[in-house]
């Protein structure tokens, strides 16, 4: 998604001031306002606008759920675990930093040594009953493995339905179809990331 | 050692002459960075980061001795430059795998890199391929190793195995320009680092040691880790619970580190055991034998009722062992007082009798020595115990004494021990005849005793030097050797163990040992055989013969309470209980519950029988004061080491007078046992059914033999042999103890199902057998 619209936060040029009548203080002024509002038929002005739009069939509301508004990449919805771009392996290395930084203390993971002597994450859960969606986990993750997704439809019989590793990890078929999206929000590389790298000398 | 004053960073510090600056600074809460130094071990000067300026000269605070009036500055621009360069060098080619490294979060390389503010690297060198290897319970990742040599140092100076050394790394040579460009110490450190890596000393190329795991504890990075723990949890997720070693009499301070078992099992589990390695070493049983808990789902009311009824109506004896806390021992004693039970505890009884006779000579209730005193001494005699097996920590103390204090020592035991022999050049092992312990004591008294009473002198005079030589198999010219060994020695320690108090002539041995304390310069330690043998012997009135209806506590009885989960009513294991132990240092040390226990404990039974204390630890302040205990609440007991290494754990028993009566028995001739002997001892790291329950230590009981003895038997390792004793025989597998030598194998007691009574008709730990191939 293009971020230009979001990066430009200056909306002052579209400002205009609405004329507001002074608030009545004395009982006489209050009475005058009631009479004015009652007999100037303001109600019918509103009804007319609704009626006019209705017969024009010019509908401004979004046809949810058939239609959805695009959502800001900074929005922090239910988490996702991503896979590595080329190999499709899980990005999560089990470093446990998200577990440590989580201020709601709702992340847990099980790790073990696998047959290739690598650290394998056998289970990863977030307790969404506790999660406050602060985004620290995504921000601290050195591999950009745990990220926030954009799915805000979190109605289910149980919160646990989103909480396990298998629910969060990009399914392999979706990954193979190239539909895993890179996360641009919290913790993602900044545009000038390269400038911040200090080079380490190499003896090769 | 006179008292001196030195000034560190403008702060006046009191010290003893000859102390290292680093230790003085630490005691006074002044921080000097240091990686390779281990308190209580010799400085290696591998890291050079503890560089300070003393009286204007650059010295390494870990090995520079303080002089009166010395002015020390711990940090200036030049030193900071050196330190930063050293940290940069350590970071060269160090794999960037902190994310998965087990040490991450408690890594000294991480800490110091951040502390020195290393945010840029100036140096580089071609990396060398370094393979990681697994040595049984110890995993070594050479890639992560920074060759600080702490593992080598601790193994040599503390543990005594000396199983590790540096081996050539095969790294590139540093370029000559660097010598000019780099700070001096950083260059010297790097030059050394490029040449070495850690490897085992054994010729076989694999690690041959007693597997205590202390090297894992001291490793500042993730190079040495427990194979079992690797990649199972991050350090910061674990909750540390201070406790005491529940398996052996040293009761060292350890930390159980617990966390939920897994994502779908919130029940807590012990992941590993750690320790304050600067001040205390753990033996392998403590480090690897932590999961011996008794898992109970609920209170078994029916079994509880049966237990209470049995005790109230039937029982006349309580049989137990010394793997219990002081409080539990006191509960048993109170039950005895209330209901008149006999308390049977074979192990503590033998110890109690021994100490009673011992006290008759010394006039004091407790022996005078301790592990700390052993560590401070420079001449140690150890007898009547296979010390590395019975009490590894006593072995560590002896090794530490003879290596660090330029000391010497004698080790008397029928089974020779090459590892003890290797503690130091001046450590002499003497394999005497089995049963000749009286002669060992006679030899020691003859050599060292002063102002002996006539009774003792008469008895010693009857023991001829020839007889001593004959029974003890002293090497030639031993008198000369001993004189050499004794040169410049002023602090003496004497260790005596379980062979003495299970000996048929234990009574006289006790008196002679008492004479060693009273009439020589030696401080004596009598090694308790089980965790709390000393405590039980001080708290309980023990009987000798069991009655008809026996309540067993962790022992087989007509009704059995068991923390092993195999009895009629479950009890909490020692990692599920709080309470205190009385350890070998005569120190009452607290231990805490690492895991939840949902069943009944001994206090519940006591309450049902009318003793009425809310918690087991309510008994702590009631421990018998006539034995030296202090009326101190459990919750008021400290349990830590301070920065100066002072042990602030619980309290030390007060010394109590005992009734003196000086008389000795004749030292009688012994019958040399011809033929095959067998010894009763657990392998290293095994002490009881509890250690054997732990998943990392679990093994089948075997006949433990040396390599050479296995060959002479003509069997292969693992094949069964028939061991025939005087009263029966057992068929048992053979297993090689790689550190053992000689022709006396040993049989373990950690499995109660092994019928050892058939082999050992008396309590004495040696027995005559014949061993045949099956």
Encode pLDDT of B438-484 as tens digits: 999 999 999 999 999 999 999 999 999 999 999 999 998 999 999 99
Q: Which two tokens stand for residue B120?
A: 């840029």
Name the E strands within B632-690. 639-641, 647-649, 651-652, 677-680
Residues on chain A touching B131 (C-beta within 8 angstroms): none
> Could you give the 3-state DSSP secondary structure of residue B421?
helix
Among candidates B124, B132, B262 on the partner chain, residue whose Cβ is nearest the Cβ of A201: B124
Peptide bond into B61 cis (omega under 30): no
Question: Taking 90 as the threshold, does the pLDDT of residue B255 lie above it?
Answer: yes
What was the pLDDT predicted at B197? 95
Kindly state the DSSP code that residue A90 receives in the 8-state scheme: B
A-B interface: how many C-beta pairs under 8 angstroms?
59
Which residue, among B242, B275, B235, has the nearest Cα to B259 in the 3D structure?
B235
Lookup result for tokens 């005497």: B432
**Chain B residues with beta carbon closer than 8 angstroms to that of A118:** 100
Query: What residue ranges do the domains of chain A occupy?
Result: 18-60, 79-189
Q: Nearest residue on chain A to B134, judged by CA atoms?
A: A117
Q: List A residues 62-81 in contact with B (Cβ-Cβ < 8 A).
A: none
Strand, helix or coil for residue B54: strand
Q: What is the C-alpha separation between B102 and B292, in angstroms, rounded?
A: 24
Contact B236 A96 (CB under 8 A): yes
**Chain B residues contacting A, CB < 8 Å?**
98-100, 104, 119-126, 132, 172, 230-234, 236-237, 260, 262-264
B contacts of A117 (beta carbons < 8 Å)? 132
Asked if A108 lies within 8 A of B126 by C-beta distance, the reply is no
CA pair distance B648, B589, nearest whole angstrom: 9
Q: For position B506, what pLDDT does the model report?
A: 95
What average pLDDT values come out for chain A (204 residues) when binned by 10 residues? Answer: 62 80 91 88 87 83 85 86 92 94 95 93 92 93 91 82 89 92 84 86 84
Distance of residue B131 Cα from the nearest chain A Cα, in angstroms: 12
* Cβ distance of B100 and A93 shorter than 8 Å: yes
Task: Measure the CA–CA gap between B49 and B188, rounded to whole angstroms.
Answer: 12
CATH number of B677-773: 2.40.40.20
Say if residues A109 and A121 touch (Cβ distance below 8 Å). yes
Q: Strand pairing partners for A128? A: none
**Model pLDDT, residue A72:** 82
A124 touches chain B (CB under 8 A): yes
B262 with A123: Cβ contact below 8 A: yes
Residue B140 backbone class (left: φ over 0; alpha: ψ -120 to 50; beta: rest): beta
- The residue of chain B nearest to residue A105, with distances taken between CA atoms, is B237
Model-level ipTM above the cut of 0.90:
no
Q: Provide the shortest C-alpha distance from residue A75 to chain B (in Å).
A: 27
| Minimal Cβ distance to A123: which of B104, B120, B263 | B263
Distance CA B274, CA B257 (A): 7
Lowest-confidence pick of A44-58, B19-33, B51-65, B706-720: A44-58
Q: Residue B548: pLDDT above 80? A: yes
% of chain B surpassing 70 pLDDT: 100
Q: Please provide the DSSP assignment of B230-286 as one string.
A: TTS--GGGPEEEEEE-SSSTT--EEEEEEEEEETTEEEEEEEEEE--TTT----HHH
Statement: residue B1 has pLDDT above 60: no
The length of chain B in residues reads 774
Query: Which residues does residue B524 pair with via DSSP β-bridges, in sequence order?
Result: B494
Tokens describing residue A129: 């009953």
Residue % of chain B over a pLDDT of 90:
95
| CB spacing of B100 vs A95 below 8 angstroms | yes
Q: Which residue reads 């503390």 in tokens?
A: B158
Residues of A in contact with B260 (CB under 8 A): 108
Structure tokens belonging to residue B337: 């007082």
Close Cβ partners of B598 (under 8 Å, ≥ 6 residues apart): B296, B297, B298, B299
∠ at Cα B207 (B202, B212), nearest 5°? 125
> What is the model's pLDDT at position B420?
96
Using the Cβ of A89 and the Cβ atoms of chain B, whether some distance falls under 8 Å is answered with no
**Which residues from B are below 8 Å from A166, CB to CB?**
none
Got the DSSP string for B570-593? E---GGG--EEEE-TTSEEEEE--
Chain A residues lying within 8 Å of B236, measured CB to CB:
96, 100
What's the rounded Cα separation, in Å, for the pair B326 and B519?
Answer: 32
**Closest residue on chain A to B265 (Cα):** A110
**Sequence ranges of chain B with CATH classification 3.40.228.10:** 351-526
| B318, β-bridge pairs | B343, B551
* Alpha-carbon span B172 to B92, nearest angstrom: 13
Does CATH place domain B351-526 in 3.40.50.700?
A: no
| Domain at A79-189, CATH from 2.40.50.140, 3.30.1660.40, 3.30.300.30, 3.30.70.3270 | 3.30.70.3270
Of residues B178 and A190, more confidence is placed in B178
Distances (CA, A) of B351 to A30, B244, B287, B530: 101, 22, 27, 10
Q: Which residue of B has its CA nearest to A95?
A: B99
pLDDT of residue A2: 59
CA-to-CA distance for B383 and B765, rounded, in angstroms? 14
As annotated, the residues of chain B forming the CATH 2.40.40.20 domain(s) are 677-773
Task: Identify the pLDDT of residue B645.
Answer: 92
Please state, in angstroms and rounded to a whole number, the distance separating the CA atoms of residues B577 and B593. Answer: 5
- Taking alpha carbons only, the member of B432, B329, B309, B315 closest to residue B381 is B432
Q: Do B263 and A94 touch (CB under 8 A)?
A: no
Q: How many residues in total does chain A contain? A: 204
Cα B275 to the center of its chain, rounded Å: 12
B99, B120, B230 ranked by CB distance to A93: nearest: B99
| Residue B587 bridge partners (DSSP) | B652
Measured between alpha carbons, how far is residue B738 from residues B282, B470, B764 in Å?
21, 30, 25
SS3 B77: helix
Q: What mean pLDDT value characterizes chain B?
A: 95
The CA angle A64-A67-A71, to the nearest 5 degrees, is 95
Average pLDDT over residues B144-172: 95
- Neighbouring C-beta atoms of residue B434, cutoff 10 Å: 22
B768's enclosing H/E stretch is strand B766-768
Return the closest-CA partner of residue B53 out of B39, B71, B38: B71
Name the residue among B123, B233, B263 with its Cβ closest to that of A201.
B123
For the segment B320-340, the average pLDDT, to the nearest whole number, is 96
Per-residue pLDDT of B401-411, as tens digits, reads 999 999 999 99
Q: How many CA atoms lie within 13 A of B723 on its CB side?
A: 30
């Amino acid at each position: 998604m293009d971020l230009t619209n979001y990066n430009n936060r200056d909306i002052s040029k579209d400002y205009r001031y609405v004329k507001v009548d002074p608030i009545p203080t004395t009982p006489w002024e209050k009475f005058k306002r009631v009479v004015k509002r009652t007999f100037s038929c303001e109600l019918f002005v509103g009804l007319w606008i609704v009626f006019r739009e209705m017969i024009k069939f010019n509908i401004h509301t979004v046809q949810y759920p058939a239609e959805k508004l695009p959502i800001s990449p900074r929005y922090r919805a239910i988490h996702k675990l991503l896979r590595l771009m080329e190999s499709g392996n899980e990005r999560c290395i089990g470093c446990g930093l998200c577990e440590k930084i989580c201020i709601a203390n709702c992340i847990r993971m099980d790790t073990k040594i696998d047959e290739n002597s690598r650290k394998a994450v056998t289970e990863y859960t977030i307790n969404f009953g506790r999660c406050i969606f602060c985004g620290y986990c995504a921000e601290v993750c050195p591999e950009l493995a745990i990220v926030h997704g954009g799915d805000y439809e979190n109605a289910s019989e149980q919160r646990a339905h989103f909480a396990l590793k298998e629910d969060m990890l990009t399914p392999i078929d979706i990954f193979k179809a190239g539909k895993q999206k890179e996360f641009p929000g919290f913790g993602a590389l900044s545009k000038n990331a390269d400038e911040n790298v200090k080079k380490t000398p190499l003896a090769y | 050692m006179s008292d001196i004053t030195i000034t560190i960073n403008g702060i006046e510090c009191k010290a003893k002459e000859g102390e290292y600056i680093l230790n003085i600074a630490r005691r006074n809460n002044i921080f000097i960075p240091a990686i390779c130094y281990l308190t209580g071990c010799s400085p290696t000067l591998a890291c050079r980061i503890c560089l300070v300026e003393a009286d204007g000269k650059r010295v390494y605070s870990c090995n520079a001795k303080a002089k009166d009036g010395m002015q020390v500055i711990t940090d200036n621009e030049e030193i900071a430059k050196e330190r930063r360069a050293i940290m940069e060098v350590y970071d060269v080619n160090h794999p960037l795998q902190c994310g998965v490294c087990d040490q991450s979060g408690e890594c000294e390389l991480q800490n110091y890199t951040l502390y020195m503010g290393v945010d840029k690297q100036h140096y580089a060198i071609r990396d060398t391929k370094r393979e990681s290897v697994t040595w049984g319970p110890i995993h070594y990742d050479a890639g992560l190793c920074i060759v600080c040599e702490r593992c080598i140092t601790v193994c040599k100076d503390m543990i005594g195995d000396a199983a590790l050394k540096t081996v050539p790394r095969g790294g590139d040579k540093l370029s000559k320009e660097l010598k000019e460009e780099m700070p001096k110490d950083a260059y010297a450190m790097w030059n050394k680092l490029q040449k070495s890596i850690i490897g085992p000393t054994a010729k076989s190329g694999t690690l041959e040691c007693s597997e205590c795991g202390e090297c894992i504890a001291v490793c500042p990075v993730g190079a040495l880790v427990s194979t079992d723990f690797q990649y199972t949890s991050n350090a910061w997720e674990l909750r540390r619970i201070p406790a005491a070693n529940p398996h052996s009499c040293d009761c060292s301070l350890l930390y159980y580190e617990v966390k939920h078992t897994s994502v779908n099992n919130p029940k807590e589990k012990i992941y590993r055991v750690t320790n304050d390695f600067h001040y205390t070493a753990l033996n392998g049983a403590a480090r690897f034998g932590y999961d011996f808990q008794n898992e109970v789902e609920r209170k078994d009311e029916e079994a509880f009722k049966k237990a209470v009824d049995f005790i109230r109506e039937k029982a006349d004896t309580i049989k137990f062992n010394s793997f219990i806390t002081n409080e539990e021992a006191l509960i048993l004693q109170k039950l005895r007082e209330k209901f008149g039970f006999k308390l049977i505890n074979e192990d503590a009884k033998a110890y109690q009798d021994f100490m009673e006779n011992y006290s008759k000579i010394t006039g004091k209730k407790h022996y005078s020595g301790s592990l700390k005193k052993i560590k401070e001494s420079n001449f140690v005699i150890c007898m009547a115990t296979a010390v590395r097996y019975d009490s590894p920590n006593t072995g560590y103390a002896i090794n530490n004494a003879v290596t660090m204090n330029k000391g010497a020592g004698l080790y008397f035991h029928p089974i020779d021990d090459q590892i003890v022999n290797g503690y130091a050049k001046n450590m002499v092992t003497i394999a005497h005849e089995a049963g000749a312990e009286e002669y060992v004591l006679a030899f020691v008294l003859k050599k060292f005793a002063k102002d002996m009473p006539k009774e003792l002198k008469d008895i010693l005079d009857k023991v001829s030097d020839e007889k001593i030589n004959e029974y003890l198999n002293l090497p030639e010219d031993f008198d000369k050797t001993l004189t050499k060994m004794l040169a410049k020695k002023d602090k003496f320690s004497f260790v005596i163990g379980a062979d003495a108090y299970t000996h048929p002539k234990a009574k006289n041995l006790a008196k002679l040992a008492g004479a060693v304390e009273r009439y020589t310069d030696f401080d004596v330690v009598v090694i308790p055989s089980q965790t709390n043998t000393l405590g039980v012997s001080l708290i309980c009135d023990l009987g000798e013969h069991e009655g008809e209806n026996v309540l067993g506590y962790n022992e087989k009885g007509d009704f059995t309470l068991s923390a092993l989960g195999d009895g009629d009513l479950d009890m909490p294991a020692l990692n599920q209980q709080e309470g205190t132990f009385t350890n070998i240092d005569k120190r009452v040390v607290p231990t805490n519950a690492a895991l939840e226990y949902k069943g009944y404990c001994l206090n519940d039974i006591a309450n049902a029988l009318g003793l009425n204390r809310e918690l087991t630890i309510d008994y702590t302040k009631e421990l018998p004061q006539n034995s030296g205990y202090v009326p101190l609440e459990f919750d008021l007991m400290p349990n830590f080491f301070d920065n100066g290494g002072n042990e602030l754990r619980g309290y030390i028993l007060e010394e109590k007078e005992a009734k003196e009566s000086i008389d000795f028995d004749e030292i009688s001739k012994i019958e040399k046992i011809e033929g095959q002997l067998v010894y009763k001892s657990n392998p290293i790291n095994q002490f009881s059914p509890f250690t054997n329950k732990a998943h990392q230590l679990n093994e089948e009981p075997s006949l433990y033999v040396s390599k050479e003895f296995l060959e002479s038997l003509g069997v292969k390792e693992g094949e069964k042999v028939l061991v025939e004793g005087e009263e029966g025989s057992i068929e048992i597998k053979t297993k090689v103890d790689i550190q053992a030598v000689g022709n006396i194998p040993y049989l373990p007691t950690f499995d109660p199902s092994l019928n050892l009574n058939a082999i050992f008709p008396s309590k004495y730990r040696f027995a005559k057998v014949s061993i045949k191939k099956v």
